Protein backbone atom coordinates (compact mmCIF):
# COMPACT_ATOMS: atom_id res chain seq x y z
CA UNK A 1 0.00 0.00 0.00
CA UNK A 2 2.85 2.36 -0.89
CA UNK A 3 3.32 4.53 -3.96
CA UNK A 4 6.82 5.31 -5.24
CA UNK A 5 5.80 8.76 -6.53
CA UNK A 6 4.01 9.89 -3.36
CA UNK A 7 5.70 12.34 -1.01
CA UNK A 8 3.79 10.99 2.02
CA UNK A 9 4.80 7.40 1.22
CA UNK A 10 8.43 8.46 0.81
CA UNK A 11 8.85 10.89 3.69
CA UNK A 12 7.44 11.66 7.13
CA UNK A 13 6.08 14.92 5.73
CA UNK A 14 7.21 17.22 8.54
CA UNK A 15 8.45 17.15 12.11
CA UNK A 16 6.97 14.04 13.72
CA UNK A 17 4.90 14.86 16.82
CA UNK A 18 2.95 11.65 17.43
CA UNK A 19 2.02 8.43 15.64
CA UNK A 20 0.10 5.18 15.90
CA UNK A 21 -0.44 2.30 13.45
CA UNK A 22 -3.04 4.23 11.45
CA UNK A 23 -1.56 7.69 11.07
CA UNK A 24 0.92 10.29 12.24
CA UNK A 25 0.79 13.94 13.30
CA UNK A 26 3.50 16.19 11.92
CA UNK A 27 4.26 19.88 12.18
CA UNK A 28 4.70 21.56 8.82
CA UNK A 29 7.67 23.86 8.22
CA UNK A 30 5.93 26.92 6.82
CA UNK A 31 7.34 30.42 6.41
CA UNK A 32 4.10 32.14 7.46
CA UNK A 33 2.25 29.74 9.75
CA UNK A 34 2.98 28.69 13.30
CA UNK A 35 1.57 25.41 14.56
CA UNK A 36 0.48 24.22 11.12
CA UNK A 37 -0.05 20.46 11.58
CA UNK A 38 -0.95 17.59 9.29
CA UNK A 39 -2.54 14.26 10.14
CA UNK A 40 -1.22 11.82 7.54
CA UNK A 41 -2.49 8.26 7.01
CA UNK A 42 0.30 5.67 7.16
CA UNK A 43 -0.75 3.99 3.90
CA UNK A 44 -1.46 5.18 0.37
CA UNK A 45 -5.26 5.53 0.28
CA UNK A 46 -7.02 8.21 -1.74
CA UNK A 47 -10.42 8.84 -0.18
CA UNK A 48 -11.86 8.78 3.34
CA UNK A 49 -14.60 6.45 2.05
CA UNK A 50 -11.93 3.91 1.09
CA UNK A 51 -11.22 3.45 4.81
CA UNK A 52 -13.11 1.16 7.16
CA UNK A 53 -15.61 2.80 9.50
CA UNK A 54 -13.25 2.26 12.44
CA UNK A 55 -10.34 3.86 10.57
CA UNK A 56 -12.46 6.87 9.61
CA UNK A 57 -13.61 7.39 13.17
CA UNK A 58 -10.06 7.01 14.45
CA UNK A 59 -8.41 9.46 12.05
CA UNK A 60 -11.14 12.06 12.63
CA UNK A 61 -10.80 11.66 16.39
CA UNK A 62 -7.08 12.29 16.05
CA UNK A 63 -7.65 15.25 13.70
CA UNK A 64 -10.14 16.85 16.09
CA UNK A 65 -7.71 16.29 18.95
CA UNK A 66 -5.08 18.21 16.97
CA UNK A 67 -7.63 20.99 16.44
CA UNK A 68 -8.43 21.16 20.16
CA UNK A 69 -4.78 21.15 21.22
CA UNK A 70 -3.91 23.92 18.75
CA UNK A 71 -6.88 25.96 20.00
CA UNK A 72 -5.76 25.49 23.61
CA UNK A 73 -2.12 26.33 22.95
CA UNK A 74 -2.36 29.09 20.31
CA UNK A 75 -5.87 30.57 20.73
CA UNK A 76 -6.25 31.23 17.01
CA UNK A 77 -9.02 33.34 15.46
CA UNK A 78 -10.10 30.26 13.49
CA UNK A 79 -8.98 26.74 12.72
CA UNK A 80 -8.88 25.75 9.07
CA UNK A 81 -9.42 22.05 8.57
CA UNK A 82 -8.73 20.99 5.00
CA UNK A 83 -8.43 17.82 2.98
CA UNK A 84 -7.64 18.33 -0.70
CA UNK A 85 -5.22 15.74 -2.05
CA UNK A 86 -5.45 16.79 -5.69
CA UNK A 87 -1.67 16.79 -6.04
CA UNK A 88 -1.00 14.14 -3.39
CA UNK A 89 -3.90 11.67 -3.36
CA UNK A 90 -2.87 10.14 -0.04
CA UNK A 91 -5.26 10.90 2.85
CA UNK A 92 -4.02 13.81 4.95
CA UNK A 93 -5.77 16.51 6.96
CA UNK A 94 -4.35 20.01 7.25
CA UNK A 95 -5.03 21.60 10.63
CA UNK A 96 -4.10 25.28 10.33
CA UNK A 97 -4.38 27.85 13.12
CA UNK A 98 -5.45 31.16 11.53
CA UNK A 99 -5.12 34.68 12.89
CA UNK A 100 -6.77 37.91 11.79
CA UNK A 101 -3.37 39.42 11.05
CA UNK A 102 -1.85 36.44 9.23
CA UNK A 103 -0.62 36.75 5.64
CA UNK A 104 -3.84 35.53 4.00
CA UNK A 105 -6.72 36.04 6.44
CA UNK A 106 -9.64 35.80 5.67
CA UNK A 107 -8.62 34.00 2.47
CA UNK A 108 -7.24 30.44 2.42
CA UNK A 109 -3.52 30.01 3.07
CA UNK A 110 -3.18 28.89 -0.55
CA UNK A 111 -4.56 32.21 -1.86
CA UNK A 112 -2.49 35.28 -2.72
CA UNK A 113 -1.13 37.06 0.34
CA UNK A 114 -3.23 40.00 1.46
CA UNK A 115 -0.74 41.57 3.89
CA UNK A 116 2.81 41.40 5.15
CA UNK A 117 2.91 39.25 8.22
CA UNK A 118 5.57 37.94 10.55
CA UNK A 119 5.30 34.39 11.77
CA UNK A 120 5.09 34.45 15.57
CA UNK A 121 7.79 32.52 17.43
CA UNK A 122 6.73 30.33 20.32
CA UNK A 123 9.55 28.87 22.37
CA UNK A 124 9.38 25.11 22.79
CA UNK A 125 6.22 24.72 20.71
CA UNK A 126 7.33 21.36 19.32
CA UNK A 127 7.78 19.86 22.79
CA UNK A 128 4.57 21.44 24.08
CA UNK A 129 2.57 19.88 21.24
CA UNK A 130 4.30 16.49 21.61
CA UNK A 131 3.40 16.40 25.31
CA UNK A 132 -0.21 17.44 24.67
CA UNK A 133 -0.75 14.78 21.99
CA UNK A 134 0.85 12.13 24.14
CA UNK A 135 -1.52 13.07 26.96
CA UNK A 136 -4.65 13.25 24.80
CA UNK A 137 -4.13 10.21 22.53
CA UNK A 138 -3.24 6.61 23.18
ZN1 LIG B 1 1.18 7.82 -0.53
Could you check whether the bond before residue 106 is cis, i.e. omega within 30 degrees of 0?
A: yes
Residue 15 lies in a domain: yes
Residue 60 lies in a domain: yes
User: Which pLDDT belongs to residue 65?
Assistant: 98
Residue 65 alpha carbon to ligand 1 centre in Å: 23
Domain of residue 109, residue span: 7-136
Residue 2 lies in a domain: no
What is the CATH number for 113? 3.30.428.10
User: Which pLDDT belongs to residue 48?
Assistant: 98
User: Which pLDDT belongs to residue 2?
Assistant: 86
User: Which pLDDT belongs to residue 118?
Assistant: 84
User: Which pLDDT belongs to residue 112?
Assistant: 95
Say if residues 131 and 44 touch (Cβ distance below 8 Å). no
User: Which pLDDT belongs to residue 37?
Assistant: 98
Residue 42 alpha carbon to ligand 1 centre in Å: 8
Residue 13 alpha carbon to ligand 1 centre in Å: 11
Residue 1 lies in a domain: no
Residue 30 alpha carbon to ligand 1 centre in Å: 21
User: Which pLDDT belongs to residue 84?
Assistant: 97
Residue 72 alpha carbon to ligand 1 centre in Å: 31
Please list the helix, strand and coil fractions of the chain in percent, rounded to the nearest 5, in that order: 30, 20, 50
Residue 125 lies in a domain: yes
Query: What are the mean pLDDT values of the chain's consecutive 10-residue runs (138 residues total)?
Result: 92 97 96 95 98 98 98 97 97 97 96 91 95 94
The number of domains in the chain is 1
Amino acid sequence: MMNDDCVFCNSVGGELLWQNDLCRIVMVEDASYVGFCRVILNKHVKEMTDLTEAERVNIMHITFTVEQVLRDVLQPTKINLASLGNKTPHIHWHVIPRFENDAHFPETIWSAEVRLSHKPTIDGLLDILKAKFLGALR
